[in-house]
Chain A
Amino acid sequence: DQQVKQNSPSLSVQEGRISILNCDYTNSMFDYFLWYKKYPAEGPTFLISISSIKDKNEDGRFTVFLNKSAKHLSLHIVPSQPGDSAVYFCAPSMYSGGGADGLTFGKGTHLIIQP
């Protein structure tokens, strides 16, 4: 049973507009949420994270929103740029030893930025 769901396998957005990537989770024990960006045949790179004690975290063009009651988080990218075209993974973790226990990844959303 999937604990992390990214229901949009792909998303196409025009350059300069906002990209919104969604993630739903079922495990209420998750308390730290990370987003990773991945290009084909490369390892994922960390993008942004949010602790469960917050509902928003912003870093430049990237903002992550967390709705704990709905077990839902979203990643906003604005404005979207061609270099943002990649697969984005939502990866929650449980802090009980936290990151050392491994991350649970969603299946990813392939974001395509169109010129």
Chain B
Amino acid sequence: DGGITQSPKYLFRKEGQNVTLSCEQNLNHDAMYWYRQDPGQGLRLIYYSQIVNDFQKGDIAEGYSVSREKKESFPLTVTSAQKNPTAFYLCASSLPAAREDYNEQFFGPGTRLTVL
């Protein structure tokens, strides 16, 4: 079945450590995104990538880094510079932007990161 996978579901790290969250999709989507959700808040865009080897900062990119070496994969690294890393992280993907009817983004199940 096609879809987006994020692993692990729950992740615990000590303060000061970098951690990388995995996101893989087999939908053949060109665009991929990372969002963060905090309690009582909407989703906020961290980074997005429209095509392989290219990515753009979203609204809250500070303290995060990404790479897009393969179409299927868009890993997110939460660095020690991120002041409040504990959150629910969601990865999404979408069809090419040229098809305006397909702005729909498909989301993965999310990773809950807790920094101790």
Contact = CB atoms under 8 A, between A and B. Distances in A.
A32 B100 contact: yes
A94 B102 CA distance: 12
Interface stretch (B11-19, B62-70, B71-79, B108-116): B108-116
B102 A99 contact: yes
A105 B31 contact: no
Given A32-B103, A42-B110, A95-B103, A100 B94 contact: yes
B48 A101 contact: yes
B105 A105 contact: no
Contact of B94 (A95, A99, A104, A108): A99
- Counting chain B residues whose Cβ lies within 8 A of the other chain, the interface size class is 35 or more
Contacts of B112: 41
Given A4-B42, A44-B107, A105-B44, A100 B90 contact: no
A49 interface: yes
A115 interface: no
Nearest to A93: B103
Interface in B23-53: 30-31, 33, 35, 40-45, 48, 50
Contacts of B100: 32, 51, 95, 98
Contacts of A89: 42-43
Contacts of A108: 42
A34 interface: yes
A34 B103 contact: yes
Interface string A5-34: 010010000000000000000000000101
B114 to A, nearest CB: 13
A108 B109 CA distance: 18
Given A32-B103, A46-B104, A105-B42, A100 B110 contact: no
Nearest 8 A-B pairs (CB), nearest first?
A43-B107, A99-B103, A105-B42, A100-B97, A100-B31, A102-B45, A105-B43, A100-B50
